[in-house]
Structure 1
């Protein structure tokens, strides 16, 4: 790709406090022949030399400028982040984006990065890139570079770090990876350790005709799969392991948040789902389990992971969450319930075998589910890791894809 491409490199940040550093990024990119658009995210609203004034960005907030320039720093930062997210989504010439800053600047820029499709180049230079980065990166493919020194002035360290970051972005924009020659449509599947046999069996049945992308259902895994659905990169999903919902409802550490499954209310892709690992809530090492849960049925999965069995009441709440999401889906739906157990440790003789709690979960989903010509729920006398259940999931996908325009049969 020639450097004279119409797509521009966007440099985003707070020009009222980081103008020198952000303009250094601009200069590095321009020396490589790229067209650069600088975007000022300053919540002061003061004039700057950036290509895009902060008030222009603020106008993209759904509630207008007044939702950004509130006079309160916390609400102003949140408002500008939302405005930049809407701004970034609407830019047709955006070839990639880079930001540099501390916690505030990073919080302002990264929501806009996360709003961009997977594959669009994104680089975050930040003092926060060494630590818990999930609040900034989430399910997106943001490249992180730790700034080493604070993003404050140009010195022998910051000069090298910022230049490397600019060159990394330039390389991604100027030399994009060629599209894969594969013509197989891609589907997403969710897997957990205790549902691995099921997902492996399903992918074996489908991989000749489909590009099977498996996501580890650890919170970010489910979010990442749904990000690809939102980006139009998946033909559909087989959501075997909805376990992240249990963590959201009960308070475990692997929640994908309250919006899990919402993407299917906006994108009419085929959805095949199940109850994988809804018998458990996840915590870290045994000593990290909250005190209020210490008397519950706990299972040490390994030294760093402790599982807690969901109760009947929790299963009811989980089922209500899931069926509400299923009923809101706009595409074709098949939901398969494995009545003999939902995980490797939820079967007779295993520590989480609790047919009564499972029955509450299954009944809640089945009784609330709204069927239709392209919406069906099946209760099957099988365990989730039985070969027959994998067959049923693959056949459900085949049924949906054969009747869905744009989807491909397995």
Structure 2
């Protein structure tokens, strides 16, 4: 225990709930770093990193934001500031997980921050939006969406239990001992779809015989993009692009669109790449 969990919250509207989460996390033996991403209202509890600091890191003093405090103007600034602060904390090994809570706006801001954080870094979002299509919030990152069931507007017996569960989840994740540890040989990324699975299974078998670990991605758009992000992050060191269906889907605006940068990252980075037109 004794890990540090970032609690990102708008303390003008979610102060009571943030205080409850703080007590739950600290009751489990961890510490919290409360970061205030609120703008207009007065915080109802004390932050470790206040909204003035967040806004300044985002490039605009809070006093300037308050002159025209629209969500469209304020949210990008607060997200940018929170990202800078949290990345610095992670780089200095002063943060080991993040949890937030909110409705539509709060979820949008918090998950924008979470999507910039490393794979494997615990990310928990308690949200009123968690039972809807959450692809816009998660995209290709490992964010755990926790349905709040009720609105997050004051504590009640149901919300208390859900917040306690979420606190236990992020604490448990932060205290695991497993990291993303790559061996001496590069981790090989493989893109696959259903109809190419027999070949992918054979490739995994052959690579395993030569002591290579593999990580397989489902070629549904997000899979290929996640694979390429892991190349950029230095997790994947070689790639077997066995199912390139995401390319044709991008060209013809299909459901499994891998985006305009699909199939470009390995070449830019100069890492080994084998391409097969599987699934096209």
Query: TM-score range with shorter-chain normalisation?
Result: 0.7 to 0.9
**Whole-Å Cα distance in 2 between the matches of residues 206 and 175 of structure 1?**
29
Task: Give the Å deviation of 1:117.
Answer: 1.6
1:239 paired residue among 233, 238, 241 = 241
Cα distance in 1, alignment partners of residues 262 and 69 from structure 2: 34
Cα distance change, pair 98–265 in 1 and its aligned pair in 2 (3 A): farther
**Equivalence for 2:102:** 101
Taking the aligned partners of 1:90 and 1:36, their CA distance within structure 2 comes to 16
Q: How does 1:211-290 map to 2 (within 5 A)?
A: 211-261=213-263, 263-264=265-266, 267-278=269-280
Aligned-residue offset at 1:45:
7.8
Q: What is the CA–CA distance in structure 2 between the aligned matches of 1:270 and 1:46, rounded to whole Å?
A: 54
Secondary structure of residue in 1 paired with 2:216: strand
> 2:60: which partner in 1?
65
Structure 1 residue aligned with 2:168: 167
**Structure having greater relative contact order (Cα 8 Å, sep ≥ 6):** 2
The CA distance in 2 between the partners of 1:182 and 1:168, in whole Å, is 28
Q: 2:20 is matched with which residue?
A: 24
Residue 183 of structure 1 deviates from its aligned partner by 5.9
Task: Say whether the 8 Å CA contact 2:239–2:266 is kept in structure 1.
Answer: no
Q: Is contact 2:120–2:179 with CA below 8 Å preserved after alignment?
A: no
Distance, in Å, in 2 between the alignment partners of 1:80 and 1:267 is 32
Between the aligned partners of 1:256 and 1:13, the Cα distance in structure 2 is 33
2:86 to 75, 85, 88: 88
- The answer to whether the Cα contact below 8 Å between 1:84 and 1:111 also exists between their aligned partners in 2 is no
CA positional deviation for 1:241: 2.2
Shift of 1:268: 4.6
The 2-side partners of 1:185 and 1:94 are apart by: 28
Q: 1:82 and 1:159, CA in 2 relative to 1: closer, same or farther beyond 3 A? A: same
- Residue 379 of structure 1: aligned partner: none
CA 1:211–1:31: 2 relative to 1, 3 Å:
same
Deviation at 1:265, TM superposition (A): 7.0
5+ residue gaps in structure 1? Answer: 279-410
Is the alpha carbon distance of 1:170 and 1:188 closer, same or farther for their aligned partners in structure 2, counting shifts above 3 Å?
same
Other structure's SS at 2:278 match: coil
Label 1:17 to 1:256 Cα distance change in 2 as closer, same or farther (>3 A).
farther
Count matched residues. 272
Higher Cα radius of gyration? 1
Is residue 2:9 matched to residue 1:9?
Answer: no
- Quote the offset at 1:247 in angstroms: 2.3
Give the CA RMSD over aligned residues. Answer: 2.7
State the alpha-carbon separation in 1 of the partners of residues 268 and 56 from structure 2: 25
Distance 2:148 2:217 in 1: 30
Please, which of 32, 43, 48 is the counterpart of residue 51 of structure 1?
A: 48
* In structure 2, distance between residues paired with 1:236 and 1:271: 6
CA distance 1:11–1:190, shift in 2 (3 Å): same
Mark the CA change 1:120 to 1:251 in structure 2 (over 3 Å): closer, same or farther.
same
Whether the 8 Å contact between 2:25 and 2:167 is mirrored in structure 1 is yes
CA distance in 2, matches of 1:82, 1:207: 42
Contact map agreement 1:81 1:112 (CA 8 A) in 2? yes
Q: Secondary structure at the match of 1:21?
A: helix
Q: Distance in 1 between matches of 2:134 and 2:250?
A: 20
Q: What is the TM-score of this pair, normalised by structure 1?
A: 0.60
1:262 Cα offset (Å): 5.6
Q: Are residue 188 (structure 1) and residue 183 (structure 2) matched? A: no
Q: Deviations over 1:327-347 (max 9, x none)?
A: xxxxxxxxxxxxxxxxxxxxx
Displacement of 1:109 after TM fit? 0.8
What is the distance in 2 between the residues matched to 1:218 and 1:148? 29
- Counterpart residue number, 1:402: none
